[in-house]
Amino acid sequence: MSTQAPEAPAPEEPRRGSLTSAKGRMADPIFKWAVTACGTIVLVILALMVIRTTSEAWPVFAKEGFFGFLTGQEWRSGDSRTEITGTYGAWPFIYGTLVTSAIAIVMALPLAIMVAFYITHLAPRRLAKPLSYTVELLAAVPSVIFGLWGLHWFLPNVLRPFFEVLENLLGWFFLFEGPIRGVGYMAAGIVLAIMILPIMTAIIREVIAVHPIEQRMAAYALGSTRWEVMRNIVLPAGFSGIVAAAMLGLGRALGETIAVLMLIGGSQSWSTSLFGTGSSMASHIAATFGEATPEARTGLMAIGVALFLVTMIINILARVIVRRLGRMTGDAAV
Amino acid sequence: MRNGRSKLAVLAAIPLLAAACSNGDGDSSEAGTNGGELSASLTGAGASFPDPLFQDWIYSYGEDVQPGVEINYQSVGSGAGIEQFLEQTVDFGSSEEYLGEEELAVAAENRGCEAIQFPVVFGSVVIALNNPDLDGLVLDAETIAGIYSTEITTFDDPAIAELNPDMDLPGDEIVPVHRSDSSGTTAVFTHYLSTEVESWADEYGEGKELDWAGGLVGGQQNDGVAQGINQNPGGLGYLNQSFAQEAGLAVASVVNADGNPIEPTLEATIAASDEADVPENFQFAIDGIGGEGYPIAGTNWIFTYTCGYENATADALIDFWTWALTDESAQEVAGDLGYAPLGPELTERVIAELERTNSENGGTQGGDADTETSDE
Amino acid sequence: MSTMTSTPVRQHVPLSQRPPGSSFRRFKDLLATVVLTMAMILAMIPLVLIIFEVTRRGIGVVDLDFFTQTEPPPRREGGGYAAGFFGTLYIMALAISMSIPFGIATAVYIVEYGPNRMTSTIRFFTDVMTGIPSIFVGLFVYGLLVIGWGGLGFGTFVGAVAIAVMMLPIVTRSAEEMLRLVPDEMRNAGYGLGARKWQVIVHTVLPAAAPGLTTGSMLAIARGIGETAPLMMTAFGSGLIVTGFQGDPQGSVPLQLFKGAAQPFEAGIDRAWGAALCLFALVLIFTVVARWVGSKASTAD
């Protein structure tokens, strides 16, 4: 037996009671059955989600075809109560979702890695803990607040001047072509980056914090600098965790609704310039849900299903990559 | 059910109270004296376009007129308003579009009796501008359509210059801003363009959401549009009159059917509503406005059923809307917020229609008198 | 743990006391330090800005009335978000009572009765579920309960279901981590005393993991409190205090804030910033308390 067990008294009474009573014997299977039932709830909910939303959206898929729906360029919802009369092509929204999420990840991931390394390896010890708390706290700030602040303060005061500089320097390149309208993919993407930065930092920090100290000490003993330890020892070991964080951040970005809605400058077309305006899947659902006719609502359900699929694929991909790399990283703050 | 009960309780209590008061000191009989104390809780849902006005009406009504009546109006959009009404999850619905025959049929089938609808208020959609120097800029349907289809891209375009011979027009690029969410404001605006400009109708059509030309800016709700206008030099967008008024934005005058450039004012909206030819069934649109009327105007309808309400609910419903349509202070609030009240003749017709609410209830739920006596 | 073990590293760090390496390597190290510090500062800037802006605009509005009165029409001064706070409280209470017991029970199943094919499936899908967009959860609950098979209409309960679905995987995942941290020795000690499995779980494992479970649950609550999108389609929003369990649209702070901010009226917008500040404070309180409970537990160990 383990020596760490704190105490080992063996009183007689509880033993007698639990072993002999019929109630005690029955309690175990009942308990097991109860927690199993709770466990399967997740599966039931997911199954219901898929069945319910797909069946709601079915008429649209039936009319447009699944791939026709995903690649169609035009979205014009009809107002019939009984049949599908409009044209439903979700490509502009899918494009908007992918572009804003890509901007967010490209900006946030390197920053998240650097911040995580700073907190774990460089920060004065007194600062490290408050910093990591602050970062985790910000992961829970409601997105309405980001949207409000982004539209009314950040966009006119910071982003717009920044966009103008960018357009002056790189306007010849199609991604940074003008005109600048303020709102657009770029504005939404940058605010998304700010939003997903804390959650990604929290996960990466946790992963690199559990890196075994012995390896690092060995490296220092061989005369490595701090940078070399981080770059050659900790970073490779934390790679799967970083992938997981990126995927989770991406999942967040794909599904983010309110802040994107306020900043993407919603339109139903799409443009190749990052300064262009468009819509994401989630923002289009939220923007038109209120005024939607029953038919249009069917179309929105279909976008929902597509969004669900995209996030599922990314999530599953993330888990598979992490598992393939031989390390599950669990994190409480997710 | 609950509300009906509590109203009945109040009704039962009133005579007792009155009796008690007549015997003792009569000061506490405030409720008994005005004779019309109502108690009910109403829910309504629908258009966001008249929401500021409805919220103000509901507030004043609850404060000053019938403290016992609670009204919850959710501005969820016209589409949801119609749906909620047809699903019977709300007591009244509201929309910027009247119910068509199809919806009326669904309503009648769901409820087992006819639904009624009536207009309660008119509102204008104004063209707001970023540049305060351009306040009063004259535009007509063709130029607005040109701007929104990106054929007219600068303020000194010949088409605009022709309408504004006296104005010194800057060569700034125009940045058209539209609503990105689906909204009744967009419906009113695009309906106007579609009726006036044929090429617009062919290319873009009308609706609560549109496949706009590329390069336009979309804003979430009025606020998003106002930000889009404010943050872009050369910004131009369409907004609820009340919003533009409150935000203090420069606005354009729009040429109406008689060729008069009209500034969007309350009077111009009232004049527009006078121009409207309202049929018996209240299914109408305000098109081809001339005279002194501002041409981009919309109407807000309220829907109720002719049966199936608790008596207290129906009484409160009728009382509230009658108050909103006739009370002087209520009409004043409407004016303050940039909404135009109905004309006197139309108000009379609307109230006659409104009073049909719950009128066919006798057969299904028992008349007023029956319920009261049976409950004692 | 980590604080103890990081001490020896510190002693190795000062490069100046080491035998000379190449100056290029030292330069690279310095450069990395500078870049990482800059990254930290860069990341903190927007976060500090957002806290500052919300506080600046919100602080003047929040007083006692803000929590006790309902909101007047947007153009009128005064009043508050009592309806929103009540709604949020009501919805969260229901959502917590649904998600936390189920979440912890699921974690118990995964940790104590696994691993087998069933638990790894559940674990996998719980992971996947954390990534489901909140708007999709809203659509799902709308399709299932509001109009669909349930046909319940809008209300507190359906709103709470949507929030609970959002919180459930977060609770489960964190509870799972916490249960795994309970050393097997404690379980074995329990068995050694003749306790049954359920007794070990209920009397030994869960109490031992309680602080950690609290932390995870608090973080899930902090997440759920700020959700807007799913409530738009389920609770629907209300400006009045709604005590009904189901059938009457219910309000919440984020919903009311989202609506108030879209109005042109100064008074309404000010109140929206006030609500933003309150939401922020609420999330802050929950997170800090959660961390505090967590850290107390870890030092006790």
CATH code of the domain covering residue C161: 1.10.3720.10
- Say if residues B97 and B208 touch (Cβ distance below 8 Å): no
Mean pLDDT, to the nearest integer, of B5-31? 39
Q: Is residue B288 part of a domain?
A: no
Asked if pLDDT for residue A56 goes beyond 90, the answer is no
Range of the structural domain that residue B84 is part of: 13-120+300-361
Range of the structural domain that residue C257 is part of: 75-300
A177 confidence band (pLDDT: 50, 70, 90)? confident
Asked if pLDDT for residue B43 goes beyond 80, the answer is yes
A289 and C232 within 8 Å at the Cβ level: the answer is: yes
Greatest mean pLDDT among A223-227, B28-32, B244-248, B329-333 lies in: B329-333
Q: Is residue B291 part of a domain?
A: no
User: Which of the two residues, A4 and C187, has the higher pLDDT score?
Assistant: C187
Q: Is residue B282 part of a domain?
A: no
Position A24 scores a pLDDT of 61
B238 confidence band (pLDDT: 50, 70, 90)? very high
User: Which of the two residues, A138 and B287, has the higher pLDDT score?
Assistant: B287
Closest chain A residue to B74 measured between Cα atoms?
A290
Query: What SS3 state is found at B294?
Result: coil
- Say if residues A144 and C231 touch (Cβ distance below 8 Å): no
Number of domains making up chain C:
1
Q: Is residue B374 part of a domain?
A: no
Position C11 scores a pLDDT of 54
Q: How far is A155 from chain C (nearest CA, A)?
A: 12
- Say if residues A294 and C142 touch (Cβ distance below 8 Å): no
A313: tokens are: 């694929």
Mean pLDDT, to the nearest integer, of B163-178? 90
- Same domain for B142 and B57: no
Mean pLDDT of chain A: 82
B337 and C75 within 8 Å at the Cβ level: the answer is: yes
B177 confidence band (pLDDT: 50, 70, 90)? very high
B55 and C239 within 8 Å at the Cβ level: the answer is: yes
Q: Give the one of C36, C125, C197 whose C-beta lies nearest to A43's C-beta.
A: C125
Average pLDDT per block of 10 residues along chain C, 301 residues long: 46 54 79 89 86 88 88 83 93 94 93 87 86 90 82 87 93 89 90 89 90 85 87 84 83 88 82 89 83 70 46
CA distance C30 to A128: 20
Asked if pLDDT for residue B196 goes beyond 70, the answer is yes
Of B256, B274, B292, the residue at which a domain comes to its end is B274
Q: Give the one of B45, B55, B89 whose C-beta lies nearest to C73's C-beta.
A: B55
CA neighbor of A98 nearest in space, from A224, A278, A236:
A278
Mean pLDDT, to the nearest integer, of A159-184? 85
A124 touches chain C (CB under 8 A): no
Task: Say which range, B58-62, B179-183, B351-355, C12-16, has the weakest mean pLDDT.
Answer: C12-16
Containing H/E element for A135? helix A125-138
- Residues of B whose CB is below 8 A from C248: 43, 72
Asked if pLDDT for residue A325 goes beyond 80, the answer is no
Q: How far from chain centre, in Å, is Cα B182? A: 16
Helix C206-225, helix C266-300: angle, nearest 10? 160
- Chain B: partners with 3+ C-beta pairs within 8 Å: A, C
Mean pLDDT of chain B: 82
B209 and A77 within 8 Å at the Cβ level: the answer is: yes
Q: Is residue C53 part of a domain?
A: no
- Same domain for B231 and B146: yes
Our CA angle for A283, A287, A289, nearest 5°, is 115
| Beta carbons within 10 angstroms of residue A128's beta carbon | 20
Position A5 scores a pLDDT of 41
Position B154 scores a pLDDT of 92
Position C95 scores a pLDDT of 95
Asked if pLDDT for residue B55 goes beyond 70, the answer is yes
Position A21 scores a pLDDT of 55
Q: Is residue C56 part of a domain?
A: no
Query: pTM here?
Result: 0.82
C8 and A217 within 8 Å at the Cβ level: the answer is: yes
- Residues of C whose CB is below 8 A from A122: 33, 36-37
Q: How far is C71 from chain B (nearest CA, A)?
A: 9
User: Which of the two residues, A110 and A231, has the higher pLDDT score?
Assistant: A110
Greatest mean pLDDT among A46-50, B75-79, B222-226 lies in: A46-50
- Same domain for B252 and B180: yes
B40 confidence band (pLDDT: 50, 70, 90)? confident
Q: Is residue C250 part of a domain?
A: yes
Q: How far is C74 from chain A (nearest CA, A)?
A: 17
Position B251 scores a pLDDT of 93
Closest chain A residue to C137 measured between Cα atoms?
A49
Position B18 scores a pLDDT of 40
- Chain C: partners with 3+ C-beta pairs within 8 Å: A, B
C135 and A255 within 8 Å at the Cβ level: the answer is: yes
Q: Is residue B366 part of a domain?
A: no
- Same domain for B245 and B210: yes
- The residue ranges of every structural domain in chain A are 91-329
- Same domain for B151 and B107: no
Query: What SS3 state is found at C250?
Result: strand
Mean pLDDT, to the nearest integer, of B184-210? 89
Q: Is residue C165 part of a domain?
A: yes
Number of domains making up chain B:
2
- Same domain for B160 and B91: no
> How confident is the model over A64-85, as pLDDT tens digits?
888 889 998 888 887 777 778 8
ipTM of predicted complex: 0.82
> How confident is the model over A136-157, as pLDDT tens digits?
777 767 788 888 889 888 999 9
Of B274, B291, B315, the residue at which a domain comes to its end is B274
Cα dihedral value A96, A101, A103, A108, nearest 10: 160
A27 and C215 within 8 Å at the Cβ level: the answer is: no
Q: Give the one of A155, A265, A296 whose C-beta lies nearest to B180's C-beta.
A: A265
Asked if pLDDT for residue A304 goes beyond 60, the answer is yes
CA distance C294 to C217: 11
Q: Is residue C196 part of a domain?
A: yes
| The pairing of beta strand B235-240 with beta strand B175-179 | parallel
Instruction: Please tell me the CATH superfamily of domain A91-329, with its number.
Output: MetI-like (1.10.3720.10)
Helix C134-141, helix A239-255: angle, nearest 10? 50
> How confident is the model over B71-117, as pLDDT tens digits?
888 887 777 788 889 888 889 999 888 888 888 999 999 888 889 99
Residues of chain A in Cβ contact (below 8 Å) with chain B: 74-77, 81, 151-152, 155-156, 160, 179, 181-183, 261-262, 264-269, 271, 276-277, 279, 286-294, 296
Position B304 scores a pLDDT of 93
- Say if residues A281 and A183 touch (Cβ distance below 8 Å): no
CATH code: domain of residue B343 = 3.40.190.10
